[in-house]
Chain A
Amino acid sequence: SQQGEEDPQALSIQEGENATMNCSYKTSINNLQWYRQNSGRGLVHLILIRSNEREKHSGRLRVTLDTSKKSSSLLITASRAADTASYFCATDGYGGSQGNLIFGKGTKLSVKP
Chain B
Amino acid sequence: ETGVTQSPTHLIKTRGQQVTLRCSSQSGHNTVSWYQQALGQGPQFIFQYYREEENGRGNFPPRFSGLQFPNYSSELNVNALELDDSALYLCASSFGRGNTEAFFGQGTRLTVV
What is the minimal beta-carbon distance from B12 to any residue of chain A, in angstroms? 16
Residue A60 lies at the interface, judged by CB distance under 8 Å to chain B: no
The secondary-structure label for the interface of chain A is: loop
What is the minimal beta-carbon distance from A107 to any residue of chain B, in angstroms? 11
From A4, A40, A45, B109 is in contact (CB under 8 Å) with A40
Residue A69 lies at the interface, judged by CB distance under 8 Å to chain B: no
Residue B50 lies at the interface, judged by CB distance under 8 Å to chain A: yes
Distance of A41 Cα from B97 Cα, bound (Å): 26
Measured between beta carbons, the chain A residues less than 8 angstroms from B56 are 96-100
Residue B70 lies at the interface, judged by CB distance under 8 Å to chain A: no
Say yes or no: B55 contacts A97, CB within 8 Å: yes
Residue B81 lies at the interface, judged by CB distance under 8 Å to chain A: no
Residue B102 lies at the interface, judged by CB distance under 8 Å to chain A: yes
Residue B2 lies at the interface, judged by CB distance under 8 Å to chain A: yes
Residue A33 lies at the interface, judged by CB distance under 8 Å to chain B: yes
* Besides the known contacts A30-B99, A99-B56, A103-B42, 9 further A-B residue pairs in the complex with CB atoms under 8 A apart: A4-B42, A33-B102, A40-B39, A42-B104, A42-B107, A43-B104, A97-B55, A98-B48, A101-B102
Q: What are 16 sample pairs from A and B whose C-beta atoms fall under 8 A apart?
A: A2-B44, A31-B99, A40-B107, A42-B6, A42-B107, A43-B90, A92-B98, A98-B55, A99-B31, A99-B55, A99-B98, A100-B33, A101-B33, A101-B99, A103-B35, A105-B40
